[in-house]
Structure 1
Amino acid sequence: MTVKKHILSNSVIIHGLGIALIFCYLLIVSGGELSTLPDTIKYSVFSVLIAYTAAASTLPQISKYLLVERKYYILPVLLTMFAILSGIIALTRLEYSRSILIHGFGISFAWLYISSLMRKNYKKLKLSALENFDLSIFESHQNIDVSPLGPKRDIASIQSGLVVDLHKELSPEDSKFVADCSINNISVFHSESIREMIEGKVQTSHLSENGIGTLSPNPIYFNLKRVWESVLIVTTFPITLPIMAITALLIKIENPGPAMFIQERVGQSGKTFRIFKFRSMTVKKVGDKDKFATEEQARITKVGKIIRKVRIDELPQFFNVLKGEMSLIGPRPEQESFVKQFETEIPFYGYRHMVKPGITGWAQTVQGYADDTDSTREKLAHDLYYIKHLSFWLDMNIVLKTIRTMLTGFGAK
């Protein structure tokens, strides 16, 4: 049992076995020994192994947020890696075997999925806790196990790490125990940090003006973010521009009025900008007050219902991103009238404007749509979590969740 646990809990061993399995399988499929195979087959086999290794390395980075089930990310991540591989092959005009790539994708997916199921219990985060906080907040999550230490403070009994509320006063004995854990390279987690990771949001009730500094995003990635987003938008124009043209035409045919909906929204640093969207409703009467989308359902057109569900109505915001007013990923921009309302009703609401607003975001993919003060308060907690943990891997997590949203219509209003 100890050997089995060691193997299943060790990523290097699991993925080493995966590479060996894929290599042997592809050799059998190709019908020969490596030395006798043509270069086309060899290049294809090694390309598959590189794509598998890239997927195996990427999955832990993306799936660490919210302690999500990794198996749900295997297919989109693997598809992405093989798409990149295909792009490189096309650009370099290397000869390749389509059969090997197809078989390679199939066996890579099978091994990653089966191994994730086999490792599920052994990858569970098992934490010990000093009982100076409410442990029940962790009971409902299937990928984490937090158990009290009890009166006996035994370092040897701690597996993945120690959880403690570091904001509460500790006894001299407990303070020494926490220090001993750190000295012995045992991870010590603040209980609210673990809760943050599980729920995917910052507990705004525990924020203070002094704690806002922890929300500052990484300035290096913050600048790189605009570069990769702009490159992605420009490279997808051959696909998205025709979709935009067809959408605009259908809107004009169905309902009189402009194809575009342009509105003032609040962006980074509280500055307003004009956001572009495809019009999905009948034209608003002059003088009508601002309303949440849930209050405007009767005005949605037939074309509008479709483009909102799959988020095509947001495509014109690509131009907002290229202008530097928005990002692909970030807190959704709100109307100025609502911002003024929420800033008086929700503490720290203005801090969501520390970054550029996005076409999609963490709150949209985790929570869905907000249509009142209470749901907006919850949305702010998710937005601040995104700002605090802003990184390439979190952005990729959101991209994958957005694809799910487009396929299921989750959060569309």
Structure 2
Amino acid sequence: MIRMFNHWVSWRSVAGALFDFSFLIVSLFITLMWINSGLPVNLAQVLIFSALFAVVMLAINILLGFYQRTTTRSFVDKRARAMLSLYLAIPVAYGLYALLPITSVNRDLMQLSAMSAVFGMLVTRVSAAYSPTANILRRRILVFGTGLQAIAVKHALEHSDPSAEIIGFYPGANEDQPQVTPHMILSRAQPLTDTARNLKVDEIVVALSERRGGSMPLRELLDCKLQGIRVLDLASHFEQTLGQIRLDSLYAGWLIFGDGFRQGFIRTLVKRLFDIVCASILIALALPVMAIASVLIVVEDGFPLLYRQERVGLGGRLFNVIKFRSMRRDAEKDGKPIWAQAKDSRVTRIGQIIRKLRIDELPQLFSVLKGDMSLVGPRPERPFFVDQLTKEIPFYAVRHSVKPGVTGWAQVRYHYGSTVEDSAEKLQYDLYYVKNHTLFLDIVILFETVGVVLTGKGAQ
């Protein structure tokens, strides 16, 4: 993993994006050099247009999820996304290159070359996802532990990092019954330092289920680190690999003495300016959609049009969140808060549509302008549920150290949740955001939000 602006990104994603950008630029520039036989073509101008086209295509690929760290998509899914990217590239190419001051024949050739470059890039992108990773790029990982936490590390690496190769599990001195397959358990006949050196280990993940009674060989782990081997504790491993801070591996000292959780004046000012500018633009663009949604809601179920509800915001302060009403007017007729469920019978027909497309969230943009919310942040919850969750889930109150958001890292990484267990899972992503939030991460989340809306993922 590579840390970019305080956010952990897969090096494969970064390399893929750089390759795609370079592939488009080089392909178009070669075409330009081929057709430039004494004709009045401005090389600098065409290069700028080519770079602009590459940036737009990069944004489209990001929206379609080409650079996400997950590796669970099927070949059919990736091929469908590649075809959609190709279709979106057609109007972009024609729109950009129609403005070039070159002859019509050469302009048509440039447009066709742009489409050929996009096609080649997408074929390479899809095929690369299913080709074996080169040995020189693989990371050899030793997991120190054989219990349930070691199994969790194995599953996390299989899900997020195809370049990671677990070469074995080194048992701790006082661990309980091993949970991993016996042939993957390494012998304790050799010290940990010698085992790591002999197996040419690049990284050690400490996943011991029992750390007391001398289970943690600190001197050996230090020797491994001094030999150039990365040593990660369980919390840091999950933070980097899955983009979450796991509650089962978290302790207060890691939060207190680790980096992150910066809430400085500059970050707050930049985030506020970003919220105002983006919310204003989005409101202007969304006004026709909001007008149509308003009419349809009133026609189906009458007034009220909007739904106001008390939520918990920054520092535990209460505020009213505003959304388009998507449920019947008697959804909570007894006055008791009820979790929203999958296929909730209280949702109207129009409500199902606006929820799926996230149109019901658009009025919250006015809360962003007011300052009660941010564009990106943890989802605001009702006081009734906050009181319940704070008692049952450790560190739940940490999420209230930043403003709640219209969208967030948990919303784009985890499906819609309606139980205490779901809230605990989403909190792990919220903690990652609170610890690492920057303008860069906010932009990444906004891009992924568009992808979620386009696919309808996680809507209820």
TM interval, short-chain normalised:
0.7 to 0.9
Match of 2:308 in 1: 262
Query: Pairwise mapping of residues 11-410 of structure 1 onto structure 2 (< 5 A)?
Result: 19-28=25-34, 31-33=35-37, 36-39=39-42, 43-49=45-51, 51-52=53-54, 66=69, 95=100, 99=108, 100=110, 103-104=113-114, 107-108=117-118, 110-111=120-121, 114=124, 117-118=127-128, 121-122=133-134, 125-129=138-142, 131-132=144-145, 134=147, 135-140=150-155, 141=158, 143=162, 144-148=164-168, 151=190, 152-153=194-195, 155=197, 158=200, 161-164=203-206, 169-170=216-217, 172-181=219-228, 186-213=229-256, 214=258, 216-217=261-262, 219=264, 220-284=266-330, 287-294=334-341, 297-410=344-457
| Secondary structure of residue in 1 paired with 2:144 | coil
| Secondary structure of residue in 2 paired with 1:36 | coil
Normalised to the residue count of structure 1, the TM-score between the two structures is 0.78
- In 2 relative to 1, CA 245–43 (structure 1 residues): closer, same or farther, beyond 3 Å? same
Q: Distance in 1 between matches of 2:457 and 2:114?
A: 33
Q: Is the contact made by 1:128 and 1:158 (CA closer than 8 Å) also made in structure 2? A: no
Match of 2:179 in 1: none
Q: CA deviation at 1:16?
A: 5.4
1:62-85 CA-to-partner distances (Å, cap 9, x unmatched) read 988755689979899999999999
Q: Distance in 1 between matches of 2:89 and 2:441?
A: 17
Q: Is the contact made by 1:281 and 1:299 (CA closer than 8 Å) also made in structure 2? A: yes
Q: Is the contact made by 2:139 and 2:203 (CA closer than 8 Å) also made in structure 1? A: yes
Q: CA deviation at 1:138?
A: 3.7
1:69-114 CA-to-partner distances (Å, cap 9, x unmatched) read 8997989999999999999x89xx9756775467436514632650
Q: Distance in 2 between matches of 1:74 and 1:228?
A: 31
Equivalent residue letter for 2:289 = I
Name the Cα RMSD after superposition: 4.2
Q: Distance in 2 between matches of 1:191 and 1:317?
A: 37
> Where does structure 1 lack aligned partners over 5 or more consecutive residues?
1-8
- In 2 relative to 1, CA 172–326 (structure 1 residues): closer, same or farther, beyond 3 Å? same
Normalised to the residue count of structure 2, the TM-score between the two structures is 0.71
Q: Distance in 2 between matches of 1:83 and 1:218?
A: 42
> Where does structure 2 lack aligned partners over 5 or more consecutive residues?
1-13, 171-185
Q: CA deviation at 1:193?
A: 2.1
| Secondary structure of residue in 2 paired with 1:49 | helix
Q: Is the contact made by 1:23 and 1:49 (CA closer than 8 Å) also made in structure 2? A: no
Aligned-pair identity in percent equals 28
Q: Distance in 2 between matches of 1:51 and 1:408?
A: 24
Match of 2:11 in 1: none
Q: Distance in 2 between matches of 1:138 and 1:116?
A: 27
- In 2 relative to 1, CA 374–157 (structure 1 residues): closer, same or farther, beyond 3 Å? same
Q: CA deviation at 1:49?
A: 3.2
Q: CA deviation at 1:405?
A: 2.4
| Secondary structure of residue in 1 paired with 2:322 | strand
Q: Is the contact made by 1:266 and 1:335 (CA closer than 8 Å) also made in structure 2? A: yes
Q: Distance in 2 between matches of 1:106 and 1:171?
A: 56
Q: Distance in 1 between matches of 2:353 and 2:19?
A: 47
- In 2 relative to 1, CA 234–57 (structure 1 residues): closer, same or farther, beyond 3 Å? closer
Corresponding pairs, count = 393
